Structure 1
Amino acid sequence: MYKIAVLLTCFNRVDKTLACLENLFASVPDNMVLKVFLVDDGSTDGTGVSVREKFPQVQVIQGTGSLYWNRGMHLAWDTAANTDEFDYYILLNDDTFLYPNALEEVLTCAIEKDNNVVVCAAFCSEETKKFTYGGQTKKGEPVIPNGTIQECHSINGNCLLVPKKVHDSVGNLDPIFPHAIGDFDYGQRAMANGFKLITTKRYLGTCESNDYLPKWCYSNVPFKERLKALYSPLGNSHPKYYFIYIKRHFGLGLALKHMLSIHLRLLIPNLWKQ
């Protein structure tokens, strides 16, 4: 029997959070025992209350309201690791809806590789059935499921399975990143510690992609608003944190190049396709 900690963080999307948990519990095979740790980061829509009522087995952790995704997931992971010993940790986004065989599939992939991997589940759009989130190649192209285990160079954190041996070596997400980048950073750290990143043999659920660029990329947005959006924790490429990530894994030269290109795009968005 495998003991698995499932980690989530949420903010003000109660219906999606409840649907995510419902699908999660419907996908638990007989050889797993789940303990779910969910950070409610200051929701005002009753998310925490609703989760406690409908899923009393979930441990709801109250956030500060300023954790965002990565720091919320770090808190959930830290709480889990200090609560019990687990064979695996699963990072799960609350807008990600698992198919019934999803947990069995990610576990099987990890075991096939002797648990020397981080397993990144692949997801598609419910409407189009096309790839939305999962692993990417070194060129940033999606790794499309083809019925076999494939290696990746970077990973989205929509659903990741991290074996105990990986956690013992790599540790938690780095809380220096507030919202984005933490999942990419974790993948690079795992590879630096000798582990591989792999994706699942098939799509394991649905998660709709955000087809819009960040607000700071659009020329019709006033400059002050673009600047504020870029330096928001939700800006995806916050210059400070993106610089840290790129310098840490790819060198100072590339970090400086990206720092300049990000601010050039901020100043002249029309130079890029919108």
Structure 2
Amino acid sequence: MLYVIIPVFNRWAFTQACLTSLRQQTTQSFRVIVVDDGSTDGTAGALAREFPEVEMLRGTGELFWTAAVNMGIRQALAHGATHVLTLNNDVVVTPTFLEKMLLWARRQPHAVLGALELDATTRQPIYGGEQFSWLTHRSAFLLQQLPADERQGLHPVTYLPGRGLLIPADVLRTIGLFDERRLPHYLADYDYTSVARRRGFPVYMNYDAHLLTYPEESGQQQTRRQRSMRGYYQHLFSIRGGGNLRNFTYFACKNCPLLLLPLFLLIGYVRRLGGYFLPHKLA
């Protein structure tokens, strides 16, 4: 059985739209666990009224993304889950999303799978995975490389985001859960999928399964939208900071090849320290 894990904190309208899209899936062979980490906007009550089929777990407001996801995964595994799909609440899944994810999961039973992301407003593809270079600290984005007629099926990538990530239970039993102690919010998903790939589990972007996302709603975009010295400090040091130096250092030391690590850290520090005040495309 597939279990969908959705960590939430407030923003009920997004959660409602996400859960409604799951109700409209062409396959209903799955269950949903929502981990509500201390929402104050009535999420818990609305969830119980409108989606009684959803199992809800409660946090205190101090879980953040990684620990909330891990709480849901532990519950799913206790229920006998064969696969877990982590899903952010600010996404909408197209009707065949789970059908296409499970189809490829049967064909690649040991693979970790992500999904092609479309802008929820324009329906244009915005993220289709990347091949990352530890030497240059740059990514080759698949959407810029693949002709339109090849944007289907599975394509190998270096790592995947957690906002629509399918993980076989065998992977979870082999390498454990997400690193909530060292990566409480950002980079835990990239770290986990990087570790899985190095441990021999293929990591693919599934171009047949589509997520609708709201790029401007991400925490990193909101921090950068109104740049300030306070925002700069939060960018570099807060748990929700997209440029958190401590998280980046740990991710680099854990995943970068040792010989390339000094240069990789140097480039990464420069980009994080100097990129906050640059236009997003230049940072």
Q: Deviations along 1:216-246, whole A, 9 cap, x unmatched? A: 768x844344223421111112111111001
Aligned position for 1:236: 242
Say whether the 8 Å CA contact 2:236–2:272 is kept in structure 1.
no
Matches within 5 A, 1:159-174: 159-174=164-179
**Aligned partners of 1:210 and 1:143: how far apart in 2?**
21
Secondary structure at the aligned position of 1:43 is classed as coil
TM-score by length of 2: 0.84
Q: Which runs of 5 or more structure 2 residues have no equivalent in the other structure? A: 133-137, 144-149
For residues 141 and 130 of structure 1, what CA distance do their matches in structure 2 show?
19
- What amino acid is aligned across from residue 10 of structure 2 in structure 1? N
1:4-153 correspondence to structure 2 within 5 Å: 4-27=2-25, 29=27, 32=29, 34-81=30-77, 83-113=78-108, 115-138=109-132, 139-144=138-143, 146-153=151-158
- Tell me what 1:210 maps to: 216
| Aligned-partner Cα distance in 2 for 1:217–1:183 | 21
Q: Which moved more, 1:209-218 or 1:43-52?
A: 209-218
TM-score normalised to structure 1 length: 0.87
Cα distance 1:229–1:205, how it changes in 2: closer, same or farther (>3 A)?
closer
Aligned alpha-carbon RMSD (Å): 2.6
| Residues 84-132 of structure 1 deviation map (CA, whole Å, 9 limit, x = unaligned) | 211111111111111111111011112222x121010111013322223
Shift of 1:65: 0.7
Q: Percent same amino acid among aligned pairs?
A: 24
1:234 counterpart SS class: coil
Does residue 274 of structure 2 align to residue 261 of structure 1? no
Q: Does the 8 A contact of 1:265 with 1:271 survive in 2?
A: no
Gap regions ≥5 residues in structure 1: none
The structural deviation recorded for 1:142 is 3.3
Task: Give distance in 1, aligned partners of 2:50 and 2:115.
Answer: 26
Report the count of equivalent residues.
266
CA-CA distance at 1:255 after TM superposition: 5.4
